[in-house]
Amino acid sequence: MRVVVVGAGVVGLSCAVRLLEDSHRVDVVARDLPLETTSVVAAALVRPYRVGPPELVARWTATSSEVFTDLAASGEDHGVRVLPGTDVGRGDVVAPVVDMPCYLRWLAGRVERLGGTLTRLNLAALPDHGDAVVNCSGLGARLLGADHTVVPVAGQVVVVEQIGLERFWLDDRAGRPVTYVVPRAREIVLGGTADELEWSRTPSPRVAADIVQRAAELVPGLAHARVLRHKVGLRPWRPDVRLERVGRVVHCYGHGGAGVTLSWGCAQDVAQQVQEL
């Protein structure tokens, strides 16, 4: 089948790879290319956050965790590692951690290596060509899915230099903002914030200072780490992820704070829905 995937964030690219692996012809079209999406801002821990419904989230997370763990063991240059971490108040844990700029580059390359295409296109409506259309437009589903239940939950991060940290930290205890410290090979992502219905992507210096202070309470060495950049991403939040087929369109959006975590699980279900067409 000829499938058009709308969206080049982590959800669209993962769906494209799965569909190509099933031998479909796949063209990805997107207003923002992978390194311009919300997905590139993600920290990214493989762990559900601000997303539903719980039973499906648990299944999708399990599938993705398995894929990411296999990737981490593969030794390829995709930015996926399994790292030990501290979940404050709960203890030591281990989880896949994804360096998003590196991973999205790898995913986009995989789409092309499998014979798919990736084209910049700003759509006013879902395409009317193709045997199937997969709608992975994130917040863009407000327009492309006529779905106003998808809203932004803005998240700000501060990216600092590596200071020799090889474990992640997460503090999501109730009654305080969620704080995380997620190391990559050459930098560390500090977060975060979650501002519902906030559309601005301009980082706030006051919020950045607060993030660094909270992170330094977990890892004191971060207090004086050199800041490399500030980023804000708009999480595409919805009461529940929408993954359903309507005619020849398979909708897959609304992944909130967990698009990376759910990506492979959702891609598998999308491939199944396309197969049933």
Ligand X SMILES: Cc1cc2nc3c(=O)[nH]c(=O)nc-3n(C[C@H](O)[C@H](O)[C@H](O)COP(=O)(O)OP(=O)(O)OC[C@H]3O[C@@H](n4cnc5c(N)ncnc54)[C@H](O)[C@@H]3O)c2cc1C
Please choose, out of 34-42, 78-86, 88-96, 109-117, the segment that lies near ligand X by the rule CB under 6 A: 34-42
7 contributes a contact to ligand X by CB under 6 A:
yes
Asked whether the bond before 44 is cis by omega within 30 degrees of 0, the reply is yes
The CA-atom distances, in angstroms, between 260 and each of 40, 71, 177, 264 are 10, 14, 21, 8
| The binder of ligand X chosen from 38, 79, 81, 118 (CB under 6 A) | 38
Cα separation of 170 and 213, whole Å? Answer: 14
User: In terms of CB distance, is 24 or 255 closer to ligand X?
Assistant: 255
116 forms part of the interface with ligand X (CB under 6 A): no
Taking CB under 6 A as the binding criterion, the range among 16-24, 27-35, 81-89, 219-227 that sits at the site for ligand X is: 27-35
Query: What is the contact mask toward ligand X in residues 73 to 112, using x (rule: CB under 6 A)?
Result: ----------------------------------------
C-alpha–C-alpha distance, residues 245 and 249, integer Å: 6
Minimum CB–partner distance for residue 104 and ligand X (Å) = 9
Structure tokens at 75: 């030794």
Q: Name residue 188's beta-bridge partners.
A: 160, 183
Among 68, 106, 168, 253, binds ligand X (CB under 6 A): 253
Q: Which residue carries 């997107």 as its tokens?
A: 30
* Rounded least distance, CB 167 to ligand X, Å: 15
> By CB under 6 A, is residue 236 in contact with ligand X?
yes
Nearer to ligand X, 45 or 271 (CB): 45
DSSP assignment of 88-123: TTTEEEEEEEE-HHHHHHHHHHHHHHTT-EEEE---
Separation of alpha carbons 207 and 213, rounded Å: 10
Residues that bind ligand X (CB under 6 A): 6-12, 30-32, 37-39, 41-45, 121-123, 136-140, 143-144, 155, 157, 191-192, 233, 235-236, 253, 255-261
